[in-house]
Chain A
Amino acid sequence: MKYGEYGGQYISEILMEAVIELEETFTRLRSDQAFIESFNYYMKQYVGRENPLYYAENLSKKCGGAKIYLKREDLNHTGAHKINNAIGQALIAKSMGKEKVIAETGAGQHGVATATASALLGLQCKVFMGEEDMRRQKLNVFKMELLGTEVVPVKSGSRVLKDATNEALKYWAANIEDTHYIIGSAIGPAPYPEIVKYFQKIIGRETLAQHFEHEGKNPTAIIACVGGGSNAIGMFEPFIDLKDVKLYGIEASGKGLHSGAHACSINGGKIGILHGTKTYLLQDEAGQIEEAYSISAGLDYPGIGPEHSYLNDIGRVKYHPISDAEALEAFDILCKNEGIIPALESAHAVAYGLKLAPQMSSSETIVINLSGRGDKDVETIKEYYDEKN
């Protein structure tokens, strides 16, 4: 499965048979009524879906212009959209007869989601996490351990998400026969980006119906933050063919696009191949992968899902940068005006919404995907302000 020239299966031969098996299983399961029902059951009874599409009246009034709606993925069990995919893929693992799963994690959200799904479905789980991220996200490490997962510290490279992904791939290569790798974002070799989109599209489909209930029409614009891009691709999925709906993906520009400290694969990178897929990447002239930076650990990845690269090139989605400072300001505004503490990732999407809304009319609407809640970020934010003062 390719998206224009993007995507593909650029992985070592050792992984090929497992990926082919996964592809065959997924193709079978996506039209298997019992599988779909079981996924929907857990989404409703366990994750707590559907979550609201909330009209943020205070925020809308403050901005002036378009009405702002928030899709409340932050209200899911475990506090983010990641659980949708983790449960879906854990169910796939079970269908393949694999008792063990592994995952990579940056901020720890996908790790916690996978640990949760594993506890629920009786799978043995190992999560690979960079040592630096473990330090930044101690609470999530402890949560995973409470859930019965082994967190494996990754000491190679710069000890962050990219390195955790490398190590997870290596471990998978050595344990391919009894282990399924649950990739957390819309990245990796085919069919992963397609699988992740399949389980995350529940976000967009609910939004489409809920918005129609509220407004009797489609939203004017939709905004989602993009690291690897799983919440965004899930949100965009039903809207891609609805050409009157404007779609915005928000990349983290960290300390600025020209600072060398950002995570803008599309706005600041170029096409290359990493972790099995061809897509926009942060890299130097020689094709060595560069470190991504964002205050939000979940956006801190040097690539982007291949379908986003395609949607960018054909102009269907516009990808815009939002800096640390802008995200923090939006974070603060959402806390104070709506009583919602968003994840720093989601605060990037909110920040773009705050820019966009005043340029639109009151008869238009914006949906912002509030992909996660901010409990995990409270310490990071405190550190940021302490350093500043």
Chain B
Amino acid sequence: MRKINTAFENNKKALVSYVMVGDGGFEASLDYARFLIKSGIDLLELGMPFSDPAADGETILNAGLRALKAKTTFKDVIRFAKIIKAETDIPMVVMTYLNPIYQFGFEKACKLLSESGVQGLIIPDLPHEESAEFKLVAELYEMHIIPLIALTTSERRVEQIVKESEGFIYLVAVKGITGTQRPDLKEVTLMSHKIKKYTKTPVVAGFGIKSREDVLEFNKVVDGVVIASRFIDLREAGKMDEIKAIIGFL
């Protein structure tokens, strides 16, 4: 298994994508992950579905509802990671809201995910101010808690948040939710510069990035981008070739 930082080695720009575990059923979502990896993504985000995803737009919300209908639980996310780990060496992180991982048992989750090749957790409803106790536990299992920075984050808090960051920094590139409006290059540039004043940890921009043009443009100012909702939409529409073309092009 490669470490997260290998995705950014030699100034390479990382392409991160996302699979909602259990969307379309466990096996189908696993096949989708294999497809993304084979197409050439550098880092894989595994999504744990949640009934009330406050940071997500319609696409991921609906993907989550489909996954919940298929009775997806935290155990499935662990099993999913284990299978991917056995097949490839791609770095993986898990994106989950706090309640499902809290109910599963945070420490148990860190331990089992770590054993399954997962190196980081993205928890949209766990801001810096509440993260200390969780970080202490995560560290025991070499699990990074990936910090999120918003365009609204003040420089004072950017400094606090990124100071001891590990893995990568998730720059939420729009004021809003996933998969909706297109980010503004100027705003993302400004924030990326602010972050880089205080850390060497790579910065990845996500939320609203959709096309190869977007990727090329934003990669000028960050170290990588996430495409999640757009690919889910294309998958739903059966346009797998288009996903492949975007990833392949990059």
Contact = CB atoms under 8 A, between A and B. Distances in A.
A275 interface: yes
Contacts of A157: 51-52
B177 A273 contact: no
Interface in B198-241: none
B95 to A, nearest CB: 12
A251 to B, nearest CB: 20
Interface string B107-137: 0000000000000000011111110000000
Interface stretch (B35-43, B83-91, B149-157): B149-157
A135 to B, nearest CB: 22
Contact of B130 (A10, A169, A286, A289): A10
B190 to A, nearest CB: 15
Nearest to B64: A288
Interface stretch (A13-21, A337-345, A356-364): A13-21
Nearest to B76: A286
A166 B52 contact: yes
B54 interface: yes
Interface stretch (A32-40, A41-49, A170-178, A322-330): A170-178
A12 interface: yes
Interface string B60-76: 01000000100001100
A10 to B, nearest CB: 5
B152 A10 contact: no
Given A272-B99, A287-B104, A13 B54 contact: no
B14 interface: no
Interface centre among A281, A285, A287 (most CB of B within 10 A): A287
B130 A9 contact: yes
Given A14-B175, A173-B177, A174-B177, A288 B126 contact: no
A17 B153 contact: yes
A71 interface: no
A174 B150 contact: no
Contacts of A12: 54-55, 124-125, 127, 148, 150, 172
Interface range for B: 35 or more
Contacts of B141: none
B125 A170 contact: no
B100 A287 contact: yes
A156 B61 CA distance: 9
Given A170-B177, A273-B102, A276-B125, A8 B152 contact: no
Contacts of A177: 152, 175
A170 B54 contact: yes
A16 B176 contact: no
Given A14-B175, A162-B52, A274-B52, A286 B152 contact: no
Contact of B103 (A8, A16, A174, A285): A285
Nearest to B61: A156
Contacts of A275: 52, 54
With a 10 A CB-CB cut-off, give which of B52, B68, B100, B176 has the most chain A CB atoms.
B52
B226 to A, nearest CB: 15
Contacts of B68: 288
A162 B172 CA distance: 25
A109 B122 CA distance: 37
Interface in A168-217: 169-170, 173-177
Nearest to B65: A157
Nearest to A158: B51
Nearest to A176: B152
A17 B99 contact: no
Contact of A287 (B99, B126, B180): B99
Nearest to A285: B103
Q: Which among A14, A16, A176, A273 has the greatest number of chain B C-beta atoms within 10 A?
A: A14
A283 interface: yes
A96 interface: no
Contact of A10 (B98, B148, B157): B98
Contacts of B51: 157, 288-289
Interface of B: 50-55, 57-58, 61, 68, 73-74, 97-104, 124-130, 148-154, 157, 172, 174-177, 180
The 9 closest A-B pairs by CB, nearest first: A287-B103, A174-B176, A287-B100, A14-B150, A288-B51, A13-B150, A287-B99, A13-B148, A289-B51
8 contacts: A12-B54, A13-B172, A14-B152, A166-B52, A174-B180, A283-B99, A283-B103, A287-B103
Interface of A: 8-14, 16-18, 156-157, 162, 166, 169-170, 173-177, 272-276, 281, 283, 285-289
